[in-house]
Structure 1
Amino acid sequence: MNRMTFPIRQARRRLSVMAVVAAAFLYSAGATAADIVIGCPLSLTGPAGGIGVDVQHGAQVAVDEVNAAGGVLGRKLRLDVQDTTGAPAQAVQLFGGYARNPDVVAILGPINAAELGAVTNLAAASKLVILAPASSGSVPGVPNLKFNDWTFRLNQAMPTVLGPLLDSVVAAKGAKSVSILTYSDNAAYVDAGNLWQKAAETKGVKVQRIAFPSSTQDYAAIVTQIQRSSDLLVIGALSATDGPLVRAIRQAGLTTPIVGDASIVTSSVYVVSKGASKGVYSYSSYVDGSGGAASAFAAAFRKSFGAAPSALASYGYEAIRLMVNAMKTRNEVSRQAVRDGLGATKDYQGVTGAITYAGRGDAIRKTVPLVEVMDGGALKKIADIPLE
């Protein structure tokens, strides 16, 4: 064997090791650092598809702004968006893939309560934050909305707002009777109907309940059940139902005021209803034109998408901003930093008002705006709803 063979091999090995060390140094210095990935298991199709699309658009505006300003601690943000179709099993599968990816520092989503119930325990087991921006109802497997330390929500929780919402509209309209229309096979909306009924009966308002399957397509059949003497109509359903149902109500000649949960102010509802949702009342922590951060967001959204943002789009935007704020306040890009930073959030001034978290779970607010849908789907603030 040539005497030079062994030294040459040693030299090559040293060079290889040095290359690996140099690459590791450059990575740690941020020169070749990977993107910070936010996993987004969102319902982009299915009954909650309109909500998921709005959330995705709002989140992308936030990501674009953050990256244009230099990213997070020198690293760029990136959304990894996947469609759950609203199916809990698909949400579980997607969560598993995100959890195994070390570049994923947090999860934006999922959308509906059943999906969130399916993945919330996985979040705790994987130590990977879920921030569900649109979910607001009761969640299967989470009694009394006592979430674990790795699960957060942004939209106002239905149990805190639906009763006060109805009280506000009943008082404004002097309503003596109300027809409540909700899904019969969705636990969150069955609970919503019960909350509305309790609030109405407490005020001495006569209640009619109409329940229907979420798969219903014949909305005229629902409308024929509504008592014409009702002073107020209340709808508890996802956006895919809200649009055609509101349109069917107006086409039947019913001009009765309508109240809905946050799903009814999704941009797709105004479009699908062909403007029939104008005049509908709901609640929204975001109101376009309210000034400050909200107006800046609205301008950025219009620049990107050529239209005004919906309330649900603002939640996607706010959720990304909250995650970024969490990492910056901890001066660290990690799953733990997101969790700790979010949990410690107090009086954060965002596009949806002041936000506080008591370590986990639902955002804490003192009031939320009562809003009315205007031309083009824009929201007008009518009053503040005090929250219990």
Structure 2
Amino acid sequence: MIQMNIAWKARLGQAMVAATTAWGLLTSAQAQSVQGVTNTEIVLGTHQDLSGPVSSIGSHLRDGLQLAVDDINAAGGVHGRKVRLIVEDSAFDPKKAVLATQKLVNQDKIFALIAPLGSAPVQASMNIALEQDVPLLFAGTPADFTYKPFHKLKFGLAVPYGEQVRAMTKYAVEKMGKKKFGILYQDDETGQNVLRAVEEQLKVHGMAVAERASYKRGEVDFSSQISRLKAANVDVVMLGTIVRETAAAKMEARKQGWPVDMMVSQAGMYETVIKIAGEAAEGLYAMAQYLPIRTQEQTPPLQAAVKRYQDKFNKEPDDGMVYGYLAMSVFAEGARNAGKTLNQETLVKGLEQIRNFKTVFAATPVSFGPNERLGSRSAILTQVKGAKFVPITGPLDY
């Protein structure tokens, strides 16, 4: 009888060990059943322009993403899981973006696609991710398709240029007392978007655009356009321009001795504009979702982040890295809110809980909700003073 009890206890012990092992394997399998998520790691992917026409933006956006990954992991990760980022080069080519996304989703098995850069590359590739239940998070473009039409796995973060322009137009009417609006805009969807936004907001105020002047993409001689706007005697010029064109417009107005106020969206709020235009850039108004690093309040946390960046990349940080850092930080906040069980459903719920989120970098706060897939609809109005973009308002919306 004693021998039978011993044998029975031995078998019972073996069964318990086997059951514990099986439970451990089952738990591990469950954790790994979600693509890109294990007990120890979250794998994210992105495609950036690292060798094409806007590589200066793409490389810094990538750096911002990676700096945030380092900070998140140094703080223990997300519920014990470390974040790993895989980066592919799209060269700002939609076809290469498609191939990059296919690799990230099908071979690298990423959990989410985060902050991919560029309207055309993202639009061409985003459905590859969404159709396989891979969240598309915070694409690096202000295009409406980053959050519309509503999709449970699609979240936008970049304030659309149209919304920036409407807020800026409202400010010009209500706070600056502007009454006669002119617009200089690129003759394509980018410029037309700005034109529509100005017209829509002016209609709210019972006003209309007094004069329009368009230009072809790549054109930087605006002598005739500025002359036309000047002859119309407008008291503010809204710019549907990007970097070089913004500088060229300010330089031409100065050349013609016309000190008119000019206002541009974040598309023209780059320090390169100041470098090109020099003194002519003074007075330019520009909207900003985030401020240039050197114009931000140099708080100890900001200085520490800049120091970490300099040590890691052996260069000075560029403004584009702020968006990357913000995007990765927002993801981490949503994943923390999701709890220890991370999957598409819990991530969505975790992101929807975010309210007024900020990082060490000065930017408009981020909030989501069950019916809100755009993280911010406001921007800060800045003005060039002393060769710097200086904030003159808090976050504005229309």
Shorter chain as normaliser: what TM range? 0.7 to 0.9
2:332 to 300, 324, 327: 324
Unaligned runs of 5+ in 1: 1-20
Compared with structure 1, are the counterparts of its residues 94 and 340 closer, same or farther at alpha carbon in structure 2 (3 Å cutoff)?
Answer: farther
Residues 1-388 of structure 1: pairs in structure 2 closer than 5 A: 36-44=42-50, 48-139=54-145, 145-185=148-188, 187-200=189-202, 202-204=205-207, 206-220=209-223, 222-227=225-230, 229-239=233-243, 241-274=245-278, 276-287=280-291, 296-297=301-302, 299-301=304-306, 304-305=309-310, 310=319, 312-330=320-338, 331-332=340-341, 337-350=346-359, 351=361, 352-359=363-370, 361-364=373-376, 367-375=378-386, 377-387=388-398
TM-score, with length taken from structure 1 = 0.75
Tell me which amino acid in the other structure corresponds to 1:385.
L
Q: Distance in 2 between matches of 1:242 and 1:168?
A: 20
Compared with structure 1, are the counterparts of its residues 47 and 199 closer, same or farther at alpha carbon in structure 2 (3 Å cutoff)?
Answer: farther
Q: CA deviation at 1:320?
A: 0.3
Q: CA deviation at 1:220?
A: 5.0
Higher Cα Rg, which structure: 2
Aligned to 2:19: none
How many residue pairs match? The answer is 356
Q: Does structure 1 retain, via aligned residues, the 8 Å contact 2:337–2:353?
A: no
Compared with structure 1, are the counterparts of its residues 164 and 79 closer, same or farther at alpha carbon in structure 2 (3 Å cutoff)?
Answer: same
Q: CA deviation at 1:353?
A: 4.3
Tell me which amino acid in the other structure corresponds to 1:193.
L
Let me know the Cα RMSD of the aligned residues.
3.8
Aligned with 1:61: secondary structure? helix
Q: Does structure 2 retain, via aligned residues, the 8 Å contact 1:51–1:266?
A: no
Unaligned runs of 5+ in 2: 1-23, 33-37
Deviations, residues 41-88 of structure 1 (Å, cap 9, x unaligned): 224566655543443343233223223323334444344333434333
Tell me which amino acid in the other structure corresponds to 2:301.
A
Deviates more, 1:110-119 or 1:148-157: 110-119
Q: Does structure 2 retain, via aligned residues, the 8 Å contact 1:260–1:282?
A: yes
Compared with structure 1, are the counterparts of its residues 382 and 115 closer, same or farther at alpha carbon in structure 2 (3 Å cutoff)?
Answer: same
Aligned with 1:234: secondary structure? strand
Compared with structure 1, are the counterparts of its residues 232 and 43 closer, same or farther at alpha carbon in structure 2 (3 Å cutoff)?
Answer: farther
Compared with structure 1, are the counterparts of its residues 193 and 39 closer, same or farther at alpha carbon in structure 2 (3 Å cutoff)?
Answer: same
| Fraction of identical pairs, as percent | 19
